Amino acid sequence: MDPDWVRSIRDQCVDAGVAFHFRQWSGVQKKQTGRVLDGRTWDQLPTAKAPVILA
C-alpha cells in the first residue's frame, strides 16, 4: 500500500472534519508492518447523531 495514498485520505478526512480510522498496512505480514501511520495510530470513529423526529 502506498503511504502517500493513505496520507492523502487521512489529510482529506482531517480537512473535512471526518473521522479517520487506519486499520493496518496491507501485505502478508500484517503483524510486522503494524498499523502506525506517521508515528501514531488513527482510531477515530464517526459519532452517532441524535435522530431527527419530524412532527
Domain ranges in the chain are: 1-45
Rounded CA-CA distance 51/21 in Å is 24
The reported pLDDT for the residue numbered 16 is 98
For 9-44, b/e burial (b = at least 16 CB within 10 A) is ebeebeeeeeebebeebeeeeeeeeeeeeeeeebee
The series of mean pLDDT values per 10 residues for the chain, 55 residues long, is 96 97 84 89 92 87
pLDDT score for 30:
67
